[in-house]
A and B are shown apart, each in its own frame.
Chain A
Amino acid sequence: MAYEKVNELNLKDTELRLGLPGTEQVKEEQDVSCVRSNKRQLQSDNEEESTTPPTKTQIVGWPPVRSYRKNNNNNNNNNNNNNNNNSVSYVKVSMDGAPYLRKIDLKTYKNYPELLKALENMFKFTIGEYCEREGYKGSEVVPTYEDKDGDWMLVGDVPWDMFSSSCKRLRIMKGSDALALDSAL
């Protein structure tokens, strides 16, 4: 029943505004009360998001989709991701700087080059060559993925079959994040 203060703080950081600039004074207070979370938050989403890059604050009852329908969507996603005997295996793909996620079916690709080409086309970037020792050196973007254990790995490190059966979601990192990951390798 308690207010989740943590999310209030996050909210101020993301600076959601009501109305146009110049009418800020009253709005600040409204922001906090308006976009707050309570116990009705989707629990599964909370757990999922805790290890990934910061996402927007969960808003209760938004988007206005009936919980019956939301649960069905979640079931669809879970079934598809966990059951490798299904002939589809959808994973979410996010790219830093792009406001929206995409979904791809990993089973439609047979190897890394095919996958990377598809990602390049989808997000309009070019990626350098992967080499085992140096990762994606020289490239602006670094494709990473979250595996079954929740760890973030570099795409290409493990054999394709192992990757396609353990990959839960993809994230294409850009810029300084990419460099940091590269140098850590």
Chain B
Amino acid sequence: MDLRLPSKVLEHIFSFVDSNEDRNSVSLVCKSWFETERLTRKRVFVRNCYAVTPAAVARRFPGMRSLTLKGKPHFADYNLVPDGWGGYAWPWIEAMAEKSPSLEELRLKRMVVTDECLEKIAASFKDFKVLVLTSCEGFSTDGLAAIAVACRNLTELELRECIVEDLGGDWLSYFPETLTSLVSLDFSCLDSEVKLSDLERLVSRSPNLKSLKLNRAVSLHALGSLLCLAPQLVELGTGSFSDKLDQEAVSKLAQVFTELKELKSLSGLWDVLPEYIPLLYSVCPGLTSLNLSYATVQMPDLVELLSRCSNLQKLWVMDLIEDKGLEVVASSCKELRELRVFPSGADVDETNVALTEQGLVYVSEACPNLESVLYFCAQFTNAALVTIAKNRPNLKCFRLCVIEPFASDHETHQPLDEGFKAIVESCKDLQRLSVSGLLTDKAFEHIGRHGKKLKMLSIAFAGDSDLMLHHLLSGCESLNKLEIRDCPFGDTALLENAAKLETMRSLWMSSCGVSFGACKLLSEKMPKLNVEVIDEHSPETRPDSSPVEKIYIYRTVAGPRMDMPEFVWTKHKNPEIGVSHLAIE
């Protein structure tokens, strides 16, 4: 008796399997499941664009409608990855244009996207709907114009913190009058002023518009007229909140804000003047997400605002909030799930001393749903970490950045080993952790022993020896991404735990003590990994014992990449000459 289910039945069953984690498991069951799954997968996620070739992805998933790609390693956000390293979107767009012309959605993070790429998208995908670019660079507003003019069914265009060559605000005017499908528009990272009348007309003819994030150049006055046209907005990113308005204009604006009955998310608020903060009071009770991280609002005004946000789930704010402000958040925002506190100063020296570990302790005590934390702070104590761990065992993401490297517990002058031990012991579902402050190898012994669900770990200026790396690679079973900078380990732990690296997506190490010889050895031993040595200051010839600047190791089925710049070495390059015989100019 043939017990195989007909593929039509399998197809129907798989149509209920949404998450790609599940789909990946499904595809491993047997050949027919693999086949059916791949033919029915609509949304493809490639979390390292060099782990697999575009052609292989297109071949495997012919029904692909949505592609999400990530390029550069995370530390590229902090200028640790030199320009020209890679992460080019072009090969992907070119391949999909040829093999998957029905592609509708493209989401790219930390990739180099050129105007040529955008023009290709506009020309190739007839039913293109969604373009979301996060932390991308390499394109200009001309490329945006190409998308605007050609994508007749566009629903989402979002530019999140991209570096764009801004040639002016004309691009917005290229959206045709026939485009009425817009649901989300985010151009907050652009500098130039767009023509207000074009923006107003676009908004008026977009009845489905739910999310609008303006750039700083959109004045407060303009905001008023835009909001009149889109009272249905669920997400709003304002422009500059600082024009001098007369009394009549202010009350009109206040009125307009009260009409925003669906508003759940608010951001922008650049240059917001304290006297305009009350304009926001009417939307506060409905807000679930508030991003004040670009608004230099002082604590008293923040308190006024946040005490009215009883439904807030996500809060991003600057350290201007101080401990006092966080105390108010603790008592007012009981639904809080995610808190991020950013430094208001531009460098190591400028830190708001009125924000201490106590602020985070308040929130951890009073907000039962708090599961994600990013906290920049001048100082911390083990006692505070222990308290936070006890209060919030449900933490999933804990990123603490004590701004002073090697800062010890400011009360006991001990390393913060015990504090982070408490965190990993108590928070059994912790998936992401960033550590800071003075830490010895012991801290990493604790993390290795208890951090069993840990997927991503970020470390800087910590540890004493190879033991630290050994504890992590041998202990953290779920480890997927590890990024380390300025830590004093050498070759031994890396080479001893080489096999672990194939179970991880990637490992980044910079300014550590790993030698060129070890990198070569690792490359030889582990053919399924790309071991990239990134060294902008490398000499003509490199002895095996010399330490390397930066190493990026990732598993891949794509083999060596073809687009490596001069300063990236892999085993495929001749170290003497320094030029890859595989590289394409």
Residues in A lying within 8 Å of B, measured CB to CB: 1, 3, 16-20, 23, 26-27, 30, 33-36, 38, 40, 42, 45, 55-56, 58-70, 72-74, 76-77, 79-80, 86-88, 90, 92, 94, 98-103, 105
Asked if A35 and B347 make an inter-chain contact with CB atoms under 8 angstroms apart, the answer reads no
Chain B positions within 8 Å of A55 at CB level: 347, 349
Which candidate, B76-84, B140-148, B258-266, B389-397, is the interface stretch facing chain A? B76-84
Asked if A58 and B511 make an inter-chain contact with CB atoms under 8 angstroms apart, the answer reads no
Asked if B461 and A18 make an inter-chain contact with CB atoms under 8 angstroms apart, the answer reads yes
Which candidate, B49-57, B92-100, B231-239, B399-407, is the interface stretch facing chain A? B399-407
Known: A1-B537, A45-B347, A61-B485. 11 other contacts (CB 8 A): A18-B464, A19-B463, A19-B488, A27-B488, A38-B537, A56-B349, A60-B78, A63-B348, A68-B135, A100-B350, A101-B349
Asked if B348 and A62 make an inter-chain contact with CB atoms under 8 angstroms apart, the answer reads yes
Asked if A67 and B79 make an inter-chain contact with CB atoms under 8 angstroms apart, the answer reads yes
A45-B346, A86-B242 as given contacts; A101 in contact with B401, CB under 8 Å? no
Residues in B lying within 8 Å of A, measured CB to CB: 75, 77-80, 135, 161, 163, 189, 242, 270-271, 273, 293-294, 296, 298, 342-353, 376, 378, 401, 403-406, 415, 440, 458, 460-464, 485-488, 511, 513, 536-537, 547
CB distance from B441 to the nearest CB of A (A): 8
A-B contact pairs, 20 of them (CB 8 A): A3-B537, A19-B440, A23-B464, A34-B511, A38-B537, A62-B348, A62-B460, A63-B343, A63-B401, A64-B78, A65-B343, A66-B161, A68-B189, A76-B296, A79-B271, A92-B350, A99-B404, A100-B349, A102-B353, A103-B344
CB distance from A183 to the nearest CB of B (A): 29
Chain A positions within 8 Å of B348 at CB level: 56, 58-59, 62-63
A56 to B404, CA, bound (A): 10
Chain A positions within 8 Å of B77 at CB level: 64, 66-67
Residue in contact with B296 in the complex, picked from A17, A90, A99, CB distance below 8 Å = A90
Asked if A40 and B161 make an inter-chain contact with CB atoms under 8 angstroms apart, the answer reads no
A16-B405, A16-B406, A102-B353 as given contacts; A62 in contact with B78, CB under 8 Å? yes
CB distance from A123 to the nearest CB of B (A): 10
A103 to B322, CA, bound (A): 13
Nearest opposing residue in chain A for B536, CB measure: A1
CB distance from B451 to the nearest CB of A (A): 20
Asked if A80 and B296 make an inter-chain contact with CB atoms under 8 angstroms apart, the answer reads yes
A12 to B27, CA, bound (A): 56
A76 to B116, CA, bound (A): 33
**DSSP majority for the A interface?**
loop
Nearest opposing residue in chain A for B376, CB measure: A63
Asked if B78 and A65 make an inter-chain contact with CB atoms under 8 angstroms apart, the answer reads yes
Asked if B488 and A18 make an inter-chain contact with CB atoms under 8 angstroms apart, the answer reads yes
Nearest opposing residue in chain A for B434, CB measure: A64
Asked if A26 and B488 make an inter-chain contact with CB atoms under 8 angstroms apart, the answer reads yes
Asked if A60 and B271 make an inter-chain contact with CB atoms under 8 angstroms apart, the answer reads no
Chain A positions within 8 Å of B415 at CB level: 20
Chain A positions within 8 Å of B343 at CB level: 63, 65
CB distance from A61 to the nearest CB of B (A): 3
Chain B positions within 8 Å of A90 at CB level: 296
CB distance from B520 to the nearest CB of A (A): 20
Asked if A38 and B346 make an inter-chain contact with CB atoms under 8 angstroms apart, the answer reads no
CB distance from B133 to the nearest CB of A (A): 13
Asked if B78 and A74 make an inter-chain contact with CB atoms under 8 angstroms apart, the answer reads no
A30 to B352, CA, bound (A): 30
A73-B344, A76-B271, A100-B378 as given contacts; A61 in contact with B75, CB under 8 Å? yes
Chain B positions within 8 Å of A88 at CB level: 273, 296
Chain A positions within 8 Å of B353 at CB level: 98, 100, 102
Residue in contact with B346 in the complex, picked from A42, A68, A105, CB distance below 8 Å = A42
A128 to B342, CA, bound (A): 37
